[in-house]
Structure 1
Amino acid sequence: MRALVVRGGWEGHEPVKATDMFLPFLERSGFAVRVEESPAIYASAADMAAVDLVVQCMTMSTIEKEEVAGLRAAVAAGTGFTGWHGGIADSYRASSDYLQLVGGQFATHPSKEPGRCRGDASDNFLKYRVSLTELGRSHPITAGLDDFELETEQYWVLHDDLIDVLATTTHPVAPWHPWHRPITSPAIWTREWGRGRIVVTTPGHSLDVLENGNVRTVIERGMLWATRTASGS
Structure 2
Amino acid sequence: MEGTDFTGKVVLVTGGSRGMGKAMVEAFAARGASVVIASRRLDACEQLAREVRDRHGVAALAVACNVSRWADCDALVDTVYRQLGGVDVLVNNAGLSPLYPSLDEVSEALFDKVIGVNLRGPFRLGSAIGTRMAAGGADSRGGSIINISSVAAIRPGPHELPYAAAKAGLNALTEGMAQAFAPAVRVNAIQAGPFRTDIAKAWSPQTLARIEQGVALCRVGEPAEIVGAALYLASDAASFCTGAVLRVDGGVR
TM-score (norm 2): 0.41
Answer 1 or 2: which has greater strand percent.
1
Compute the TM-score of the two structures, normalised by the length of structure 1.
0.44
Higher helix share: 2
